Amino acid sequence: MIPLLQAQAPATSFWSEAFNSSELWTKLIITLIVGLVVMVGLLYAPIRARKPIVAFFTFISGAYWVLLYLWPKPIDRQPGEMPLNTVETVSFWLADSNNVVVSFTQILTGFLLGLGIFSLLKIHLTKISKGHKDAFFSIVLLASMGLMIWFGYADWFDRLGERGAMLDNRDNWGFTQYGRDFLFEGLLQQMDAAMFSVIAFYILSAAYRAFRVRSVEATILLSAALLVLLSLMGAVSFVWDENVKAIANGNPFILNFQLTEVAQWIRNTFQTSSIRGIQFGVGLGALAMGLRLWLSLEKPGSGS
Amino acid sequence: MKGNLGEKLQSLPKPILYLILILATSIPLFFPTEVPNEPVESTKDFYATLMALPEGSKVLLMSDWTGSTRGESKGAFRSIFKILIRRKAKVAIYSAADPQAPRVAQDAINELNMERKRKNLPTFDRWNDWVNIGYFPNAEAAINGIANDLKGAFGGRKDFPPNSPPRDVFQSPVLQGVTKVEDFPLMLVITASKTSNFAVERVSGRTPLAFAVTGVMVPETQVFYQSKQIVGYCGGLKGVYDLEQLMESGVNFPDKATAKIKSDKLGTIEGFPDPDNKGQGTRYYPTLHYALALMIIMIILGNVGMFLAKRGDKS
Amino acid sequence: MMPLSEVYIGEQYRDSGWFGVFMTLLVAAFVLVNIRRARGGKDLYIRRIAGLNAIDEAIGRATEMGKPVLMVPGLSDTINAIAVQAVNIFAYVSRIAARFANPILLCCYNAAVYTYAQETIRDVYQSEGVADRYDPDSVRFVSDRQFAFAAGVSGLILREQTAATFFLGEFYAESLIFAETANSIGAIQVASSTETTQTPFFIAACDYVLIGDEFYAASAYLTRQPVLVGSLVGQDWSKLMIILMIVFGTILNTFEIQGKTTSERTKGVWSQIPERNKKQSDTFMSQLFKPQLEKVKVERPIDPNYVPEAEAAK
Amino acid sequence: MRITAGVIATIGLYSVLWKENKFYRFFEHVFLGLAAGWTMVALWTETLKANWWDKMVGTPAETGAAATNGMFAYALLIPFGLMGYFVFSKKHNWISRIPIGIILGLWSGQQVQVWWNTYGPQIDATLKPILPTTWDSLIVPSTNGLTPEQLSQVQSQIYFSQAVNNFLFTLTVVSVLSYFLFSFEVKSKAVKGINTMGRYLLMIGFGAIFGSTVMMRFTLLIDRMHFIWIEWLRDGVFPMISGR
């Protein structure tokens, strides 16, 4: 597919037809119908066939990446070159289909988003219809959702055409742009920032409540945190370090007691290493779980 | 009475805590002050890497921050672009973390350009100096695609040349002759999310990586910096402040003896004294001290309270 | 030009490149072998994990108070093992909740996760024979923007006055928003983030915290399903292997790095250099971990209908 | 006007710190609504349009950009997407597992692919020499005013202090890792000791993480305050009032 992007008049093949050609549309519609037929067919799948079917699809999709990883990769491949042998034919194909496969996850997730929105609508519409005490807020939610969708798309269409570039400049803005800007920059972005910064309050209260010299662990946690906090206050560490330098007057050993040095030492020696220790475990966990899912070894919802 | 005092100190009502914090973070803003500071190694390396770029080199930049972290990321973004503009770099921008990110980055650059216009400096033009390749959903997969097959990944993406309809990004001067990620002498990542990890997983070893991350990510980024998977990084507000100071006074510059910022590892790297260097870092960093101080005081108070309470119980 | 035979080797296996592949396969083997063992009826030991015993306690408490149990399977961009693992644990939780007819609330950040959770939890209720007690709205999609989600969930926590909250999965900055909000209404909290950088906050604000891959151990620990237990043992073998590799490698490097060298290997080629102290990069281990590929040229026929972009641009 | 709205929204969300109230609830729902709306927009404009539709139907030739062909096979994804919607059917909900299965399969496959890329280099970076290569001085001597040769000489040596740090580093990694061994019954005191030590060392790490994180959180709050007091009140409202 890469050469196709580069060539002036792309060569068509069985899999790719020219833009807006009748062949493309016929094939497209046929594919769609076939797909839907298969889907309907699944409705009649016998119960014991269900597990294998799911397992099959899971395995196939995982197999691509595993193959891409294990199959000999071409050495020193230049654009436009043709494979030397069957091994390379496969590896070329694997490499080229990378971008296609990559997009599957996001496309499917995109299609599924409808379900999420459906759940949202269901909950709030029932609230409204039942006249729940928070019905008003549900209305607010749906209204702001509608507005955002409307302005979002209107603005997007405006930017598609010739005017797109001009709209970078506020002078050429219309009602749509201002509306979108108000909702997006004015509200959404600001609320994002606001909600994020709320954490500052919580972090304070959490530290105030939890950082007590109760157990050995708590004490260690607390003192390490305090040291790093101090080192982050440029002024404090600067003054401290200046004094240390003064005391040390060149003695490299004493120089190690500069606050920045100590903090850096904690970071490099303990923080980095403990994170690494944890991450090794987590990584293995993910890999093992990946294997179990790929080979469908695990019962779904195995909390049973 | 001690006991009571202890109890009080141990359990200050949250609203009061919050009120104090608001005061501590608001008042100092009105009184800008200069704070002495020594940049950390990682930021020095970061600055050195940027300054080592030959003029006019092409840089791939993954901009993964939005309004929610503008406090930190915007400062970093602006400083980095001030340097890149001085290096006359050509920047290809894309995002993998958040659909908003490309817009946010675009607005930030426009803001910079407006300031430059006011000072009658040449602007950093879309399409000619930088292209916005747009947003790639599903960071992990997208970055993998970019690393393995840049042509394919960016293919078909469009951006706006000066007042004309959108065109294929590979037509722009920025991406002329670029076919794979190795064609960029440097990949920058300005991120507030774990997309940096994906960059390390997929891109490290193919082309040098340098990160500008939020404070919360400093620990995990330190890991990559130590294992030399990235050449340098600028972490959190401290990083931004360091960067602004480095821009002002360089490293071992004009010469090691008189330099404001010294380094044994790095050679002489020039700085550009210019009031414009002072940005968010310089504005926020002093205030941060009061907030941190408050935090420390509160922790101490809590513990003192606990001891007093214990003593109170005994007597 | 290199011998054609090498073309078959494949880029990723050249020099010491095979080592990475080998290690990956080894770990996979460990996991699969142990799953076999476990399935073969061998009962394998798992040590006690404090955070997990708390789960039952938390639900019990919620039942006493008759208040809902809130569960959040993290903020994964799309459904992945982390989300699945979280939902699996929640399946266990909601099973108990279902028995005691305790209301549950499962807030999803992502539509795909929502689909999976919806399916799984319904299954749980059906298999418990109380399908009628299941309310599809108890598993809901809140928002897929981080802080909108945070705002929504903490709103829910405060309004529903949840008695027990479970935050398991991928959590980022919002972790503390949830934890503190839940704490402020005195709910029991069991939490875990696969993001190491968030764990300290959970530790500070929550009652029970699963650190690192205790999270992955959870379902095995709770359900003792052979497959899961086996895989857990496999992971442990791999960890042990890494530990040994580190110990062995460290000792090896330590002794190797003493002394000087007059030759070094870069890009797969040995070259003579003036004598210098040995560097880390000279050691056997680092050569093993960092494959150094000699630049080679492979002649291939050019595709006739390929147009170089230089012309395409015209 | 725009900024004012932002400020009000900010205060609205902050009000939850006091207690859950109608004001907060209002903005919470506005927030959720906008977010959902935005997602609906981004779904097409940012995801499906470029990654699915354009690939499926192709794009016409434009100035400089060549036309691209359409690959009809992409249409197959529609039915697979639709299968997810069976989740609400009591009888056929199993079908919704298929798209999920595909996504999970892709994810799992990638894990196999990236595991070593991520952790290989980190394992390598953990293998640090734990014996000094020189005893000239116990700690790294000060490097001021050394010639480049001397400097590189010093840097190529490993001094006692570094060796000790490296040892601590490796020790931490190993002990933390061994703390996460679940399936081995620990009998020997020594191993128990290592595990508890692992836990303590872990706590040092967590403390440090906490410290570094606090900085960011406060920075964001400061940014908000700057937004309210400086951008809005001082540079926005005052000029307006004093203008009249």
Q: Does C24 touch chain B (CB under 8 A)?
A: no
Q: Do B208 and B86 reside in the same domain of the chain?
A: yes
Contact check, Cβ <8 Å, C90/A303: yes
Contact check, Cβ <8 Å, D36/A120: yes
Candidates D32, D103, D183; nearest CB to C236: D183
Is the CB of residue B197 less than 8 Å from the CB of residue B220? yes
Predicted confidence (pLDDT) at residue C158 exceeds the cutoff of 90 = yes
Candidates C28, C246, C277; nearest CB to D133: C277
How many independent structural domains does chain D possess? 2
Determine the residue among A13, A270, A284 to mutate to test chain C binding: the one whose Cβ has the most chain C Cβ atoms within 10 Å. Answer: A284
Neighbours of D193 (CB within 10 A): 12
Q: Does C77 touch chain B (CB under 8 A)?
A: yes
B chain contacts of residue A235, beta-carbon cutoff 8 Å:
35-37, 289
Candidates D39, D184, D209; nearest CB to C144: D39
Q: Which of residues 263-282 of A touch B (CB under 8 A)?
A: 264, 267-268, 271-272, 275-276, 279
Mean pLDDT of C189-203: 90
Q: Do B172 and B249 reside in the same domain of the chain?
A: yes
Q: Does C195 touch chain B (CB under 8 A)?
A: yes
Q: Does D89 touch chain A (CB under 8 A)?
A: no
What ranges do the domains of chain C cover?
A: 50-223
CB pairs under 8 A between A and D: 455
Q: Do B171 and B202 reside in the same domain of the chain?
A: yes
Q: Does B15 touch chain D (CB under 8 A)?
A: yes
Candidates B138, B170, B179; nearest CB to C77: B138
Structure tokens at A290: 């990946």
- Is C50-223 CATH 3.40.50? yes
Contact check, Cβ <8 Å, B68/C146: yes
Q: pLDDT higher for D133 or B303?
A: B303
Contact check, Cβ <8 Å, C197/B216: yes
Give the span between the Cα atoms of D85 and D62, in whole angstroms: 38
- Residue by residue, pLDDT tens for chain A (304 residues) are 344 444 445 677 777 888 888 889 999 999 999 999 999 999 998 988 999 999 999 999 999 999 999 998 888 888 788 888 888 889 999 988 887 888 888 899 999 999 999 999 999 999 999 988 889 999 999 999 999 999 999 988 887 766 666 776 677 788 888 898 899 888 998 898 899 999 999 999 999 988 888 888 889 999 999 988 888 777 787 788 888 888 877 677 777 788 878 888 888 889 889 989 999 999 999 999 999 999 999 876 554 4
What ranges do the domains of chain A cover?
A: 214-294
Nearest CA in chain C to D171: C247
Determine the residue among B11, B65, B68, B144 to mutate to test chain A binding: the one whose Cβ has the most chain A Cβ atoms within 10 Å. Answer: B68
**All chains having 3 or more CB pairs closer than 8 angstroms to chain A:** B, C, D
Q: Do D3 and D43 reside in the same domain of the chain?
A: yes
Q: Do B100 and B61 reside in the same domain of the chain?
A: yes
CB within 8 A of C134, min separation 6: which ones? C98, C121, C122, C125, C126
Q: Do B175 and B204 reside in the same domain of the chain?
A: yes
**Across chain C, what does the average pLDDT equal?**
88
Candidates A120, A122, A202; nearest CB to C177: A202
Candidates A110, A192, A260; nearest CB to B66: A192
Name the minimum distance, in Å, from the CA of A102 to any CA of chain C. 13
Q: Does D241 touch chain A (CB under 8 A)?
A: no
The answer to whether position D155 is within a domain reads no
Mean pLDDT of D139-152: 67
Q: State CA C24 to chain mean position distance.
A: 16
Q: Which of residues 64-123 of A touch B (CB under 8 A)?
A: 79, 95-96, 98-99, 102-103, 105-106, 109-110
Candidates A1, A189, A193; nearest CB to B152: A1
> What is the pLDDT, as a whole number, of residue A213?
87
Q: State CA B16 to chain mean position distance.
A: 33
Predicted confidence (pLDDT) at residue C261 exceeds the cutoff of 90 = no
> What is the pLDDT, as a whole number, of residue A165?
66
> What is the pLDDT, as a whole number, of residue D147?
66
Contact check, Cβ <8 Å, C147/B68: yes
> What is the pLDDT, as a whole number, of residue A162?
66
Give the span between the Cα atoms of D8 and A147, in whole angstroms: 19
Map residue B272 onto helix, strand or coil. Answer: coil
A chain contacts of residue C168, beta-carbon cutoff 8 Å:
none
Residues of the domain holding D25: 1-70
- For every residue of C110-136, DSSP letters joined together read SHHHHHHHHHHHHHHHHHTT-GGG--G
Give the span between the Cα atoms of D58 and B177, in whole angstroms: 24
Candidates B14, B171, B216; nearest CB to C313: B171
Contact check, Cβ <8 Å, D46/B99: yes
Residues of the domain holding B286: 1-31+280-315
Nearest CA in chain A to C31: A288
Is the CB of residue A213 less than 8 Å from the CB of residue D32? no
Q: What is the pLDDT of residues D6-40, one digit of tens each?
A: 899 999 999 988 888 899 999 999 999 999 999 99
Cα dihedral B64, B70, B73, B74 in deg (nearest 10): 110
Nearest CA in chain D to A229: D211
Q: Do D83 and D103 reside in the same domain of the chain?
A: yes
Predicted confidence (pLDDT) at residue C179 exceeds the cutoff of 80 = yes
Predicted confidence (pLDDT) at residue C3 exceeds the cutoff of 60 = no
> What is the pLDDT, as a whole number, of residue A2?
40
Determine the residue among C15, C16, C76, C77 to mutate to test chain B binding: the one whose Cβ has the most chain B Cβ atoms within 10 Å. Answer: C77
pTM of the model: 0.89
Structure tokens at B94: 């894309």
How many independent structural domains does chain B possess? 2
B chain contacts of residue D222, beta-carbon cutoff 8 Å:
25, 29, 71, 284, 287-288, 291
| Residue count of chain D | 244
Q: Do D60 and D80 reside in the same domain of the chain?
A: no
Candidates B140, B171, B219; nearest CB to C197: B219
Contact check, Cβ <8 Å, D34/A191: yes
A chain contacts of residue D33, beta-carbon cutoff 8 Å:
140-145, 147-148
SS (H, E, C) A161-192: CHHHCHHHCHHHCCHHHHHHHHHHHHHHHHHH
Candidates B36, B220, B294; nearest CB to A235: B36
Name the minimum distance, in Å, from the CA of C99 to any CA of chain B. 38
Q: What is the pLDDT of residues C281-303, one digit of tens each?
A: 888 888 899 888 777 888 888 88
> What is the pLDDT, as a whole number, of residue B175?
92
Burial of residue D229 (CB within 10 Å: 0-12, 13-18, 19+) is middle
Q: What is the pLDDT of residues A50-59, one digit of tens each?
A: 999 999 999 9
Mean pLDDT of D111-135: 88
CA dihedral over B75, B81, B83, B85, signed as positive or negative: negative
Q: Which of residues 162-221 of D touch B (CB under 8 A)?
A: 205, 208-209, 212-221
Name the minimum distance, in Å, from the CA of A184 to any CA of chain D. 8
Contact check, Cβ <8 Å, C290/D124: yes
Q: What is the pLDDT of residues C6-52, one digit of tens each?
A: 556 788 888 888 999 999 999 999 999 999 999 988 888 888 888 88
Give the span between the Cα atoms of B70 and B8, in whole angstroms: 37
Task: For tokens 């005490």, name the residue.
Answer: A133
Burial of residue A19 (CB within 10 Å: 0-12, 13-18, 19+) is middle
> What is the pLDDT, as a whole number, of residue D176?
92
Q: Do B166 and B125 reside in the same domain of the chain?
A: yes
Q: Does D111 touch chain B (CB under 8 A)?
A: no
D chain contacts of residue C80, beta-carbon cutoff 8 Å:
104, 107
> What is the pLDDT, as a whole number, of residue A36?
94
A chain contacts of residue D10, beta-carbon cutoff 8 Å:
190-191, 193-194
Candidates B68, B138, B217; nearest CB to C78: B138
> What is the pLDDT, as a whole number, of residue A3?
41
Q: Do B292 and B206 reside in the same domain of the chain?
A: no
Contact check, Cβ <8 Å, B71/D68: no
